[in-house]
Structure 1
Amino acid sequence: MSGFSLKDIEKRMDGAVDALRKEFTGLRTGRASAGLLDPIKVDAYGSLTPINQVGTVSTPEARMLSVQVWDRNLAGAVDKAIRNSGLGLNPVMEGALIRIPIPPLNEERRAELAKTAGGYAEQARIAVRNVRRDGMDALKKAEKDNEISEDEHKKLADQVQKATDNHIAVIDELLKTKQEEITQV
């Protein structure tokens, strides 16, 4: 049958969940995490480069990140990129080493981050629903073109719906975990 593969649909839904996990690693919780700096791009050699491609990001302490910049001339650009990232971080430059203390989160910032996490989760849910719609459309077309019977259509549609429900449940669980992590003092 052309255009429909349950395996492909589940793979695309998994992709939406994986993207959400990646987004969540970039959300600050109050503990230092090397993934926190992943979304930051540094203006290096005339192009925007991910921070982990200009230096080594590590977590020497629970509330401290450090970036060992490989090219000393880029330290200023890395410092600037971190300051302008919107993460509320104030790096301290020590030559090619940049220390980034992770300040404790205040209540307002926690609420803001929890809301952001909710937005990320909603984007993931929408992505999963879009994949579901594509699958259902492919099934309708296959039945219309007499490639599958009405019974097969119903059976496969139930499988697509089950996959959708499972992926939405995973997204909701990830969100719940992340929001607890954020609001934990």
Structure 2
Amino acid sequence: MIDELKKASQKMTKSMESLSNNLSKIRTGRAHPSILDAITVEYYGQEVPLNQVANIKIEDAKTLQLNVWEKNMIKEVEKSIISSDLGLNPAVSGNLIRIPLPPLTEERRKELVKLVKQEGENCKVSVRNIRRDANNKLKQLLKRKINFRR
């Protein structure tokens, strides 16, 4: 019975961690390296995450700076950033790529609010389902225990 509670607790924790992870990927007005986590680059015939071909750091509150390790990959990295659906326009200078983040528009803010609400609701539904399943299992175990004693 205690194992069932522990399993339910672990599932709820995973659900909350998933929500936290999903919320951290949402682009706000500030520069953060995790904005580029979803971008992949073709590297010698394979798609690899951007952070495996370049060092990503925050230059200032509105600008990210990428230091591409191989000079021949700069064009490929730039192309991947432009083709992503993030609306970013990189500027190349030598081995560095600077990515200024455009300010959030009113429309984009409203979309972000809807997205955050949806993510929160999905997490709540998940936790509710986990709790319901755990309660049902506990009720079944209690019924078996009562029937076993008779």
Matched, 1:10 2:9: yes
Alignment size in residue pairs: 147
What does 1:100-119 correspond to in 2, within 5 Å? 100-119=99-118
- How far residue 11 of structure 1 moved from its aligned partner, in angstroms, is 1.9
- Counterpart residue number, 2:95: 96
CA distance in 2, matches of 1:8, 1:53: 35
In our comparison, the structure showing a higher alpha carbon Rg is 2
Q: Secondary structure at the match of 1:145?
A: helix
* Equivalent residue letter for 2:36: L
TM-score, reference length from structure 2: 0.84
- Counterpart residue number, 1:122: 121
CA distance in 2, matches of 1:89, 1:22: 22
- How far residue 30 of structure 1 moved from its aligned partner, in angstroms, is 0.9
- Counterpart residue number, 1:75: 74
* Equivalent residue letter for 2:105: N
Q: Secondary structure at the match of 2:98?
A: strand
CA distance in 2, matches of 1:81, 1:65: 15
Which residues of structure 1 form unaligned runs of 5+?
151-185
Q: Secondary structure at the match of 2:99?
A: strand
1:144–1:105 CA distance, 2 compared to 1 (3 A):
same
CA distance in 2, matches of 1:45, 1:140: 56
- Counterpart residue number, 1:165: none
* Equivalent residue letter for 1:47: Q
* Equivalent residue letter for 2:110: A
CA distance in 2, matches of 1:47, 1:29: 30
- Counterpart residue number, 1:46: 45
Deviations 1:61-93 (A, max 9, x none): 111001112222222222222222211111112
- Counterpart residue number, 1:154: none
- How far residue 24 of structure 1 moved from its aligned partner, in angstroms, is 1.5
1:72–1:129 CA distance, 2 compared to 1 (3 A):
farther
Which residues of structure 2 form unaligned runs of 5+?
none
Deviations 1:87-141 (A, max 9, x none): 1111112233211001111111111111112222222222222322331232233
